[in-house]
Structure 1
Amino acid sequence: MQQREQYTKIEDFLSDESFRQWILERKDHAEWEEWTLENPQRAKLVEEARMWLLAMKVPHTPPSNAEIQSALADTWKKIDETASESVTRAGRLRPILWLRAAAAVLVLGLLLGWLYQKQWTANPEKITYHTLVEQDPEGLIEQTNNTDKPQLLTLSDGSSVLLHPNSKLSYPRSFGAEERKVYLSGEGFFEISKNPDKPFFVFANEVVTRVVGTSFRVKAYADQPNVEVVVRTGKVNVSSNQSITKAKNKELVLLPNQGIRFERQNLAFHLITDLTQDTPLTQSTSAIEQLSFDFTDVPVAQILTTIEQAYLLEIDFPQEVLKNCYLTTSLSDQPLPEKLKIICESIGSTTRYEMNGNKITILSSGCE
C-alpha cells in the first residue's frame, strides 16, 4: 500500500491496489473504511475516487438495475451503521461528513444509472427478418408481395397465408417432422391446419407466435415501432424471441378477439382484451377478419362470393349447375384449401377445385 496520508488526487486512490480491492471486491485489509471516516475532507475525496472506479467498470460489465439498487442499499446501510457508531463514540454525529457521504452515494447512483442506460440504448440487440432467415438450416422459399393487394399462399401442410403488400414470407418447401416454422416481414393473415403433434411457429423479428391450428394476423413491418398479433379463432401463444432476453420467456396466451402490441423501444408487451376499444387495431382489420364463415342453408354461390371477398381472389364456377345447391356448414377455423375441400365434398363426388395463384376454378356436374 502506498502512503495514503499523502493522497491528494483521485488518481492516487485509483492506482492503489488495496483501494481497488476494497471498492471492487469488498476486501478491507487496510481498514480503508475506518481511515476514511476519520476526516470529512478525506471522505469526500475517497467517495469521488470510488465513483470513478465503479464508473470505469460499467462499460465492461454493466450491472443490472437490481445490482445497482442492491449496491446503493448496502452503502446506505454502511452509512447508518457508521452514524450509529459515531454517536456512541462521540455523543453526536458529524453532520458535514454524513451529508457529504449521502450526496456522494446519490451522485454515484445517478452516474451508474446514466452510464448503464447509455450503453444499453447505444448497443441494442436487433433481431431482423434477414438474420432469422440466414440462421435457419433449412432451404427456404421466399415470397415477396410487391403488389397493391394481398396475395394468397398455400403451404405444404395445407395452411394458408394472406400476405399483405410490402411483405415477405420465408418457408420451407415441406415442413420437418417435429415443427413448422415460417418467417414474416410485414403483415400476414394466417390460417393454420390442425396438427397437435407439430406446432406452427411464426417468427416476426422480435416476436414468436406459436399455434397448433387457428387463424390470426401478425403485423411486423421493420420500419414501424410496434409488432401486433391479433387472434380471430382458436388460441395463440406469443412470446419475445429468446435472443433478446437470453432466457426462456413466459408465453402470453391470446383467445379469439384478443391481441398484443409489442413495443420495440422498451421490449414490452401490452395485452388487448377488447379489440373494439383499440382504434389502430380496429382500423387495420381486414375483410377476412370481419366476415362470418358460418352458413345455414345458404346458396353455394353466396358462400363462394363470401370467400372471394375475404381472400380478394376470383372464383370461377358453373353458376347454372350449382344454382339450386344449398349448404349448411361452418368454415370459420379452416385454411382456404380445407374450406374449398369441404364445399366440394358437400356438393357431391363429381365436384372438385383447381387453384392457380389468386384464381380458383370449381368443376362440378351438380349437387347430389
Structure 2
Amino acid sequence: MRKTYQSIDDFLSDSSFKEWVLEGKHHHQWHEWTLSKDESTELMQSARLYLLAMKVDEQEIQKADVQEALGHTWEKINEQERINQGNFWLRLFKSSTLQKVAAILLVGICLVWVYQQQITPQKLLDYEQLISQQNDGLIEQANNTDKPQLITLSDGSSVLLQPNSKLSYPKLFIGNERKVYLLGEAFFEISKNPAKPFFVFANELVTKVLGTSFRIKAYKNNPNVEVVVRTGKVSISSNTSVQTSDKPIVLLPNQSIRFQRKELIFDQIITINNNKPDITNQVETIEQVNFEFADVAVSQIFTTLKQAYLIEIDYPQEKLKDCYLTTSLSDQPLPEKLKIICESLGNNTRYEMNGNQIIIYSNGCN
C-alpha cells in the first residue's frame, strides 16, 4: 500500500515510518526501500530528511541554524515534488494515444499560423514612415487652409495641394530621379524630362511619370489610394515595403484606378467620361478645365488660369486688353503655361510667382 504514497505527508502520517526514522524500529521493512529507485523511494527519502531535521536538539545548535537547515530541506522537497510532477506528465506524454493527439494539435497550430500569415494584411505605410526613410533634407508644405495651394517645384512642375494635405519635396532635384511624398490629395502637372523620371510616393503606391498631369488621393485614414490621369500616362506600382506580385499598371489619359490598402490589391481601371473624374467630390476641378485656346483674349486666358489653379494674377489690363492668343496649354505645368503666354505676347513680357500670387509685366502685345 505504501507504494501508492503520492506525497511527503503520506509518509509523515505513517507511524511505522516515523518509528523507523526516529527510533530505529522496523528497520528491515523500510531499509529495503532505500535500495530501490522508484518515485515513492525518493519521496520517502525527503520525508526521512524532514523528520531527522525536526529531531535535532535545539540546545546543540542555534535556532537560526535550525531554520536554515529546515529551509534547505523544504527547498529539496519542493524541487523533488516538481520533478515528480514532471515525470508524471512525461509518462503521460509517452502514451502512444497522447502522442498522436499532440501531433494532430501541433500540425493544426502550424496550419492556423500559416493561414493567418497569408490573410493578415501587412502593416500600412503612412506619410511619416515614408519621410523617415529619407536621409536628404526635405521641404514640407502643409495646407491647413480651406482652399487649394499652389506649389512650384525646382524643375518647373506644379502641384495643386488640397486642404488637409501635405507634400514633402527636395529644394533641388539631384541625381537621375525626382521624388516627392504626398499625404492627402494633390493635382500634379509634371515638367517633361525623359532622362529624369518623376516619382510620387503616396502611402503604399508609387506613381512614376515622365511628364503628364494627374491627381492622387492618399489620405492617412482612407482605406484606398486613388489615381486619376488627365494627360500623358503614368506607371503605378506598390511600394517595395509592401511589394505584391502585381506588375506595374499603366494608366492612360482619362483613366483612374483605386488601390485597396489592407488587401494590397488594385481595382479595375475605370475610364472617365467627358474628363470628369468620378472619384472626386469637387464640383469643379482643374481636370475639367479646357486649356485649348483659339483666338481668345489674354484676359480670358488669365481668368481661366485663375479659376483652375485658384490663384491671383495681376497684369496690366489696359496694355493687354486688345491681345488675343491661339495656343495649347493642356499638358503643361503652370510655370510653363505662363512662359508660353509671355513668349507669345513678346514685347518684354515676363512673370513672377510668389506662391498663389502671379504678377505679369508687359508693355502690350506685338
Matches within 5 A, 1:297-312: 297-312=295-310
Separation in 2, partners of 1:5, 1:344: 91
Matches within 5 A, 1:228-307: 228-245=226-243, 250-276=247-273, 280-281=278-279, 283-284=281-282, 286-307=284-305
Separation in 2, partners of 1:303, 1:157: 24
| Counterpart for residue 107 of structure 2 | 54
| Counterpart for residue 159 of structure 2 | 161
| Counterpart for residue 197 of structure 1 | 195
Partner-residue secondary structure (3-state), 1:271: coil
Separation in 1, partners of 2:317, 2:245: 55
| Counterpart for residue 96 of structure 2 | 7
Residue 333 of structure 1 pairs with residue 331 of structure 2: yes
With over 3 angstroms needed to count, the CA separation of the structure-2 counterparts of 1:124 and 1:328, relative to structure 1, is: same
**Comparing 125-134 and 140-149, the one that deviates more:** 125-134
Separation in 2, partners of 1:221, 1:305: 31
| Counterpart for residue 344 of structure 1 | 342
Look up the equivalent residue of 1:55 and give its one-letter code: G
Instruction: For residues 131-188 of structure 1, give each alpha carbon's deviation from its aligned partner in whole angstroms, at most 9, with x where no partner exists.
Output: 1111112110000000000000000000000000000000001011210000000000
| Counterpart for residue 359 of structure 2 | 361
With over 3 angstroms needed to count, the CA separation of the structure-2 counterparts of 1:307 and 1:222, relative to structure 1, is: same
Separation in 1, partners of 2:225, 2:162: 15
Residue 214 of structure 2 is aligned with which of 203, 216, 241?
A: 216
Separation in 1, partners of 2:224, 2:129: 19
With over 3 angstroms needed to count, the CA separation of the structure-2 counterparts of 1:224 and 1:312, relative to structure 1, is: same
What is the Cα deviation at residue 308 of structure 1? 0.2
Separation in 1, partners of 2:293, 2:359: 21
Separation in 1, partners of 2:350, 2:304: 18
Separation in 2, partners of 1:254, 1:285: 23
With over 3 angstroms needed to count, the CA separation of the structure-2 counterparts of 1:176 and 1:312, relative to structure 1, is: same
With over 3 angstroms needed to count, the CA separation of the structure-2 counterparts of 1:225 and 1:280, relative to structure 1, is: farther
With over 3 angstroms needed to count, the CA separation of the structure-2 counterparts of 1:313 and 1:5, relative to structure 1, is: closer
Q: Contact 2:189–2:334 (CA<8 Å) still a contact in 1? A: yes
With over 3 angstroms needed to count, the CA separation of the structure-2 counterparts of 1:148 and 1:5, relative to structure 1, is: closer
Partner-residue secondary structure (3-state), 2:241: helix
State TM-score, norm by structure 2: 0.70
Separation in 2, partners of 1:350, 1:4: 95
Q: Contact 1:242–1:248 (CA<8 Å) still a contact in 2? A: no
Structure 1 outlier segments of 4+, above 6 Å: 2-5
Separation in 2, partners of 1:268, 1:173: 34
Instruction: For residues 240-273 of structure 1, give each alpha carbon's deviation from its aligned partner in whole angstroms, at most 9, with x where no partner exists.
Output: 111113x675110000000110011211101333
Q: CA RMSD in A?
A: 2.4
Matches within 5 A, 1:32-47: 46=100
Q: Contact 2:224–2:260 (CA<8 Å) still a contact in 1? A: yes
Separation in 1, partners of 2:235, 2:95: 64
Q: Contact 1:276–1:282 (CA<8 Å) still a contact in 2? A: no
| Counterpart for residue 179 of structure 2 | 181
Structure 2 unaligned segments of length 5 or more: list them.
1-90
What is the Cα deviation at residue 124 of structure 1? 2.8
Which structure has the greater CA radius of gyration? 2
Structure 1 unaligned segments of length 5 or more: list them.
14-45, 59-111
State TM-score, norm by structure 1: 0.70
Q: Contact 1:158–1:338 (CA<8 Å) still a contact in 2? A: yes
Separation in 2, partners of 1:185, 1:285: 22
Partner-residue secondary structure (3-state), 2:185: strand
| Counterpart for residue 132 of structure 2 | 134
Look up the equivalent residue of 1:229 and give its one-letter code: V
With over 3 angstroms needed to count, the CA separation of the structure-2 counterparts of 1:135 and 1:322, relative to structure 1, is: same
Q: Contact 2:124–2:262 (CA<8 Å) still a contact in 1? A: no
Instruction: For residues 171-223 of structure 1, give each alpha carbon's deviation from its aligned partner in whole angstroms, at most 9, with x where no partner exists.
Output: 00101121000000000000000000000000001000000000000000011
Instruction: For residues 51-91 of structure 1, give each alpha carbon's deviation from its aligned partner in whole angstroms, at most 9, with x where no partner exists.
Output: 322234x3xxxxxxxxxxxxxxxxxxxxxxxxxxxxxxxxx
With over 3 angstroms needed to count, the CA separation of the structure-2 counterparts of 1:282 and 1:219, relative to structure 1, is: closer
Aligned residues: 275
| Counterpart for residue 19 of structure 2 | none
What is the Cα deviation at residue 290 of structure 1? 0.3
Matches within 5 A, 1:34-113: 46=100, 48-56=101-109, 58=110, 112=111
Q: Contact 1:172–1:182 (CA<8 Å) still a contact in 2? A: yes
Separation in 2, partners of 1:193, 1:124: 34
